[in-house]
Amino acid sequence: MKQDRILIGTRSSKLARWQADYVAERLREQYPGLTVEEKLMQTKGDKILDAPLAKIGGKGLFTKELEQAMLDGEIDLAVHSLKDMPTEVPAGLELAVITKRYEPGDAFVSNTYRSLEELPQGAKVGTSSLRRKAQLLHVRPDLQIESLRGNVNTRLQKLDDGQFDAAILAVAGLKRLGLGTRITEVLPESIILPAVGQGALAIETRCDDAEVKAKIAFLNDAATAKCAVAERAFLARVEGGCQVPVGVYATPAGENLHVEAVIASLDGKRLYRDSVTGPQAEAERLGVELADTLLDAGGLAILHELGLLLDRK
């Protein structure tokens, strides 16, 4: 039976709604007769806002309820920020589409200071990410980095209320919400490498839902998908959810991929960074190879200190 209706599951934050609306509009443009609707849902990550992400379970906090609804047949697909996706997808589900990557960087946002460099000694910076915290402390060990949770608007309001001298947020999220003017400085990748998949969207579906997969296939961006394979392979190898300060960023270079990554200690004092270049067809191997390089350089000791035992078979 031909499917004439698709139900998208989405979280209710403004950014999640933007992401679901974007996919819904693209589907309506592609298939004028198709009815596309959205179902708003809450995840554990949306409900618990008074604790750092790393302490309440890390990745999966923003996806589990949506995934269960898919498995139960309540929704046809879910749209996620790729950076929120665990490396292991539940049995019966798959990441069918990775959209073209938007800007992957991190933004320095401040009402008082024009740049990270201009921040005075001991300034208070808000971020909920250990990845950002460790890399910031590596270049500015004097800063006070404090947890800043909530949706984008909530975080900006806390900054505006004077709770922080600056905040670090994803460039893509700010721009997608029309808040690009709030960006004081886009931090270079030499200071902060992005999270896995940052700037790209992932569309998750049931593995056996061939019709829905066929309908959304036009949204897949092959180059971004290859980058995601390398980045997620790196993350899987180091078991790096929100509990481990890791950044990794792959970029196409002709037929090759260039992958750069970092593993850092929580205080930023030890930071191991390296890169690898190789064929796009070997994206997964490149991610694993780079992970092993950084683990051997000192990253494994950091994981052990964080209580994470790595099986490197």
At 70-79, the pLDDT tens digits run 999 999 999 9
Q: 125: which residues sit within 8 A by CB, 6+ positions away?
A: 119, 136, 143, 144, 145, 146, 164, 165, 166, 167, 168
Reported as a pLDDT band with limits 50, 70 and 90, residue 84 is confident
Other CB atoms within 10 Å distance of the CB of residue 221: 16
Rg (CA), the chain: 19
At 180-206, the pLDDT tens digits run 999 999 999 999 999 999 999 999 999
Residue 299 CA to residue 294 CA, distance in Å, equals 6
Q: Which of 267, 272, 271 is nearest to 293 (CA)?
A: 272
185 forms beta bridges with: 108
Can you give 94-130 as a three-state secondary structure string?
EEEEECCCCCCCEEEECCCCCCCCCCCCCCEEECCCH
Indicate if the pLDDT at residue 309 is higher than 90: no
Indicate if the pLDDT at residue 254 is higher than 70: yes
Annotated domain spans of the chain: 5-100+199-220, 106-187, 230-305
Both tokens assigned to 74? 């309540």
Higher pLDDT, 149 or 59: 149
Q: What does each C-alpha distance from 71 to 31, 64, 94, 140 come to in angstroms?
A: 25, 11, 11, 45
Single-letter amino acid code for the residue at 196: V
Q: 56: which residues sit within 8 A by CB, 6+ positions away?
A: 44, 45, 48
Out of 3-12, 26-35, 132-141, pick the least confident. 3-12
pTM exceeds 0.95 for this model: no
Task: Select the CATH number that applies to the domain covering 106-187 from these four: 1.10.579.10, 3.40.50.1220, 3.30.365.10, 3.40.190.10.
Answer: 3.40.190.10
Architecture (CATH level 2) of domain 5-100+199-220 = 3-Layer(aba) Sandwich (3.40)
The mean pLDDT of the chain is 91
170 forms beta bridges with: 106
Q: Which of 55, 77, 18, 33 is nearest to 206 (CA)?
A: 77
Residues with catalytic function: 84
Q: Which CATH code is given to the segment(s) 230-305?
A: 3.30.160.40
